[in-house]
Amino acid sequence: MSVETTVEAPKATKKEALFSKKNRRALFDPLDDNNPITVQVLGICSALAVTVQVKPAMIMAVGLTFVAAFSSLIIALIRDSIPGRIRMIVQLIIVALLVTLVDQVLKAYMFDVSKKLSVFVGLIITNCIVMGRLEAFAMAQKPWPAFLDGIGNGLGYGIILVVVAVFREVFGAGTLLGFKVIPQWFYDHGYVNNGLMVLPPAALFLIGIYIWWQRSRNTKLVNVS
């Protein structure tokens, strides 16, 4: 299914430039000004759960970007033939299908990573970013902008995840991507890893502080929500 649809996508918008201003906005806005986590308040559950270490956070971001992009694309292609009353079920089935695909690919080619992530990959189904963007954007847009919007939101989610995970891994465990970054010398002189960073509340504090920083830099976001 997805093979056919990717071929069709550019054809539908031939009249419009592939990266027109509107399309660029769909792709880049979610990275900062319209970030799914800090501005749209979507997808926070998994941001708290997978950010204890950097590596799972990165793989989770890639998986989510894939699912968000292709589910947006497929929904945008068939949006006119979905009856309004059962749209959520149709959306969820497509999302669940793509998540199963990601899960199977991870199992086949990266078994050790998949073992670490198994629960989180399943949780992409209930990640509000995917559903939220389908409801808010893909249901009313052409396939190509919807696809870009999916990629943009996945990347915006990934940025926050990696930033939070870097802080939590460095200060909580003294490592980065599994390598030791805080020198032994520190520990010898009484430095102790911050136990709070490993607990879920730390992710909330870090995202809260990130929002504070983002909004003090970009004042038009103040009072958005």
Partner 1 sequence: MEHYLNMFIKAIFVENVVFAFFLGMCSFLAVSKKVKTAFGLGLAVIFVMVLTTPLNYLILEYMLKPGALSWISPSLADVDLTFLAFILFISTIAGAVQLVEMVVEKFTPALYNALGIFLPLITVNCSILGASLFMQEREYSFAETAVFSVGSGIGFFLAIVLLAAIRERLRYSKIPEPLQGLGIAMIITGLMGMAFLSFSGIQL
Residue from 64, 131, 165, 166 touching partner 1 (CB under 8 A): that is: 131
- Supply 10's token pair: 């550019």
Q: Measuring CA to CA, which residue among 154, 126, 124, 149 is closest to residue 138?
A: 149
Token digits of residue 87: 């749209």
Coil vs helix vs strand at 205? helix
Does 101 bind partner 1 (CB under 8 A)? Our answer is no
Q: Identify whether the C-beta of residue 74 lies closer than 8 Å to the C-beta of residue 138.
A: no
Mark residues 167-206: x for contact with partner 1 by CB under 8 A, - for none. --------------------------------xxxx-xx-
Q: Is 122 in the site for partner 1 (CB under 8 A)?
A: yes
| Inter-CA distances, 52 with 58, 156, 198, 202, Å | 11, 18, 6, 10
Q: Pick between residue 9 and residue 159 the one whose CB is nearest to partner 1.
A: 159
Q: Is there binding between residue 152 and partner 1 (CB under 8 A)?
A: no
Per CB under 8 A, the segment of 65-73, 143-151, 152-160, 214-222 that binds partner 1 is 214-222
**Distance separating alpha carbons of residues 120 and 49, to the nearest angstrom:** 8
**Contact positions vs partner 1 (CB under 8 A):** 38-39, 41-46, 48-49, 85-86, 88-89, 92-93, 96, 99-100, 122-123, 125-128, 130-132, 135-136, 199-202, 204-205, 207-209, 211-216, 219, 221-225
